[in-house]
Structure 1
Amino acid sequence: MATLTLTLAALATSAVPGLVAVAVRPHEGSDDDYSAAILTTPDDEIIVSVPRTQQAETIQSASALGMAALTDGARAELPFAVPRSLGMTRAGDTRAVATTFLSGARFDASDLAADAILIDSLAETLAAIHALPRSVAQQGGLVERTARDQRLLVTRVVDRAQASRYLPETVHARWTEVLEAAELWDFEPLMVHGTLSADSLLIEDDRVSGVLDWSGLSIGDPASDVAWLWEAGEDVFDAVMGRYAKRSGIGESAALRSRSAFYHELEIAKWLLHGVDTHDAQVIDDAVGMLDRLVDRLSLLAEPVPSRNPIGEAAAMELLGQTPEVADRLSETAAFEALDEDRMFGFDTDFIEPLPEEDAVRGGDEAAASGVGKGSASDTADAQLTEPIDDLLTEPISDDDLPRDSRR
């Protein structure tokens, strides 16, 4: 670990010219997708990270694009901190990226209570993001998605799940009914974070102090930013959205509520498609089991669309909480084009081929001996962290894919 940490420190000095580091430590919050270390400077702390998978590299690129789009003026409108990109350098076949480090505690959505002090700050955070001017996306070269575009994208997810032959007819009928309800898809696109979840929020003194992972920043459906709240339960969702409605000035929306719950249900479809695409029988069986339980829940309901809670109070959140996070790898060419259709759900796994597991940074004794501030990226990170794969193309979406409006 010491060798890896020193290697990352050396990469940071290469990425940020003139960087003076007085201490370095491993980033305890690192996951399997990144190797990361935190450097202490005389003025601040920075974090340097190297992606271990191709999907992580794609997310890192998109996040850098999103952070760059947030100008000083836009950041001044946000009641929380946003990391800043400081520089990057080569690290084997990938790159190391240095950004400002934001401190803060993490929380589990399932631990939220409707009367928690944090609820108001969550509503404030959502309202502030959605109030950002559209020019942030337009001038930053980010995705601009219409309500029709959003409807087409989720239609495609449902169609692919149905084509797998694992989707129960009851669930397919439910999702088709949602897609055909034209009133649900008549909304005004706003600036959205795009990948918001409890994992992307930092907390200090019962307030949101920082927001991470700006890879999904775009113009899109605000419902996509609140779907994760269903993990905490209906009472928490209602508490946050009640305050959000007052802060945003748009009032409570039954359509937004229904779309967000629908997006949350579609996480099961994503997990199923991940198993199908990677030929993983265990994942498929897991997803099929969750779909069977969803059928049981739906059979107890007779509510028309839009529904307040598609699968019934806390049971829905318990079911969706069992869906593992998909950590797949995107193709090199999907780095930005795929974001146009995948940001709503983080990163879709529709056309992803798995890569073999690779070692992270294999910086040996040479990197350790180089120390902080010596050598270049090639000198200190000779490990090959990712392996390029062939370009993967998605089929274009035609107007015929759009479901017809329900006449019921």
Structure 2
Amino acid sequence: MRTTPELLAAVAAAAVPGVAPVATGPSPDDAADFRSCVVQDSEGRRWRVRSPLNTEASMRLETEHLVLQAFTPSVRSRLPFHLPTVAGSVAQDGLRTFVYSHLPGHTLSLREFQRQNEHPEPPVHAPSPSATPRAPLAVQLGRSLGCLHSLPRALVMDADLPAYSAEQCRKRMLHDLDQAATTGLIPGDLLRRWEEALEDTTLWQFSTRVVHGDLHEDNITVDHGSLASFTGWSDLHVGDPAVDFSWLVGMSDPAFADTVLEAYSVAAVQPPDRHLLRRAHLKAEFALAEWLVRGVDRGITSMVDNAQRMLATLAADVRASASPSPGVAGPPPVPPAPPASAASPAPPASPAPPASPASTASAAASGADRTGDSADDSVDRADSDGRTLDGGSAPDGHPSDGGSAPDGHPSDDGLSPGHHSGEGGSSAASGSVTPTS
């Protein structure tokens, strides 16, 4: 059965007493697993609705609910960002749809993260002259990750969520590598590259942390230059902190990740291990193999073909950069010798170094693994006379500009055209809204 925004609005009304929907807006999500929308009620309140499309997705939402319950008010008060709250749920055909309270802010693409880090949006209200200047976004991210990774392990273990040692993290990834190899669709040089990194035990000597597990730009909301919230909590566990850094590899400017790590080092209870970013590069590259395996398991030919193309691009980037291992740069390019016949030749310009292989992989996986809702979920907003005010479509999440996630998010001045956060993937309501009938 097709899940429409109008149906999701009806679910919100059934799940949360007192909600009378008057408008809906698209909410980007993993279209292979969920249908989502933002609902505005008659009192101007906003709600995020996520409906699973299969049993696995439903279990992820159930786990997410369990995680959010573990974040008690006292725990939440220790974090410098907001977390969603489940307002209600409705079960239908064995699958449970969840409704979440609205959180301020909107999501940013990787490119927008970098731009706002250098040129942040001004705050809504001008700060007092004595107020401490607001830190750049990269610093705010580092501090937030440091606080998250410093939470006690008991928070996860008491909720009966997974907890892995460093060696278990390595062996789990080795198992996933073996599973990927059985498809016969991954370039052999990439398999060898990843296996060598996994066999290098010096990379896997670290202290495990409480980690988000699915952190990326679509699960982070920003409100006028300030980091507002982390969403998408279905993969919380104790494990490798590098998991929460792998999406940063997609930044075109490596200084952004370095700044995040520097701020993280100050905020975290324990300093990061020296190989954290190398493992983050490995995980960013390997995300393409995981995407391919997911497509094979589900029998989705388009996913498999897309993953194969991105893996071929990654293999070409690795060869071009001569990178011996994830997170390790290859030798610098040698500039060509000046022509012998030139009397006073100008020094030749050195060719630009190739992009980091993991940067290409992370940006591509960012678009591929988090496809937004289809265009038919975008709707128009009409005024009281029925005249269309805005039009638009929801972001589709497909890679652009070399595989990077789409940018150009509109402002957050309400359902149209702003972004509204909830639980799970991107909670931004972009594009336009339509009155419910």
Structure 1 residues 244-291: Cα deviation after superposition (integer angstroms, max 9, x where no partner): 122225445331111111000001111222343344555444333333
Aligned with 1:265 (options 275, 285, 294)? 285
Residue type matched to 2:24 in 1? P
In structure 2, relative to structure 1, the CA distance for the partners of 1:212 and 1:309 (3 Å cut) is farther
Q: Tell me: CA distance 1:113–1:30, structure 2 relative to 1, closer, same or farther (3 Å).
A: closer
Moved more, 131-140 or 4-13: 4-13
Counterpart of 2:364 (choices 292, 311, 322) is 322
Q: Deviations over 1:132-171 (max 9, x none)?
A: 1112112222111111221111101211222222222221
CA pair 309-135 structure 1, distance change in 2 beyond 3 A? farther
Structure 1 residue 110 displacement after superposition: 3.2
Give the 3 Å change call, closer, same or farther, for CA 251–39 of structure 1 in structure 2. Answer: same
Name the counterpart of 2:11: 11
Question: Does the 8 A contact of 1:82 with 1:210 survive in 2?
Answer: yes
Q: How far, CA to CA, are the matches of 1:308 and 1:235 in structure 2?
A: 15
Q: How does 1:73-152 map to 2 (within 5 A)?
A: 73-113=74-114, 115-116=117-118, 117-152=136-171
For the pair shown, which has the larger CA radius of gyration, 1 or 2? Answer: 2
Query: How far does residue 177 in structure 1 lie from its aligned partner after superposition?
Result: 1.0
Whether contact under 8 Å (1:112, 1:236) holds in the other structure is no
CA distance 1:85–1:279, change in 2 (3 Å): closer
Bigger helix share: 1
Residues 7-406 of structure 1 aligned to structure 2 (within 5 Å): 7-16=7-16, 19-21=17-19, 23-31=21-29, 32=31, 33-40=34-41, 45-113=46-114, 115-116=117-118, 117-233=136-252, 234-248=254-268, 250-251=270-271, 253-301=273-321, 307-309=327-329, 313-314=355-356, 316-323=358-365, 324-326=367-369
**Equivalent-residue separation in structure 2 for 1:210 and 1:12 (angstroms):** 22
In terms of mean alpha carbon deviation, does 260-269 or 282-291 score higher?
A: 282-291
How far apart are the structure 2 equivalents of 1:276 and 1:48? 29
Aligned sequence identity (%): 25
C-alpha deviation, 1:120, in angstroms: 1.3
Moved over 6 A (4+): none
Deviation at 1:102? 1.1
Number of aligned residues: 324
1:164-211 superposed Cα distances (whole Å, 9 cap, x missing partner): 222222212211111111111111111111111100111112111111
Paired position in structure 2 for 1:391: none
User: What SS is found at the alignment partner of 1:161?
Assistant: helix
Structure 2: gaps spanning 5 or more residues: 119-135, 331-352, 372-437
Secondary structure at the residue paired with 1:98? strand
Letter in 2 for 1:107: L
| Contact 1:34–1:52 under 8 Å retained in 2 | yes
Q: Which residue of 2 aligns with 1:354?
A: none
Distance 1:256 1:10, change over 3 A: same
* Matches of 2:196 and 2:205, distance apart in 1: 15
Q: 2 CA distance for matches of 1:304 and 1:314?
A: 12
Letter matched to residue 87 of structure 2? L
How far residue 7 of structure 1 moved from its aligned partner, in angstroms, is 4.4
TM-score in terms of structure 2 length? 0.67
Deviations 1:334-391 (A, max 9, x none): xxxxxxxxxxxxxxxxxxxxxxxxxxxxxxxxxxxxxxxxxxxxxxxxxxxxxxxxxx
Q: Is the alpha carbon distance of 1:77 and 1:316 closer, same or farther for their aligned partners in structure 2, counting shifts above 3 Å?
A: same
Query: Kindly tell me: are residues 12 and 296 of structure 1, through their superposed partners in 2, closer, same or farther at Cα, counting changes over 3 Å?
Result: closer
Contact 2:246 2:283 in 1 (8 A): yes
Distance 1:186 1:257, change over 3 A: same
CA 1:306–1:199 in structure 2 vs 1: closer, same or farther (change >3 Å)? Answer: closer
Shift of the 290–68 alpha-carbon distance from structure 1 to 2, 3 Å rule, reads same
- 2:170/2:198 contact within 8 Å kept: yes
Q: CA deviation at 1:41?
A: 7.1
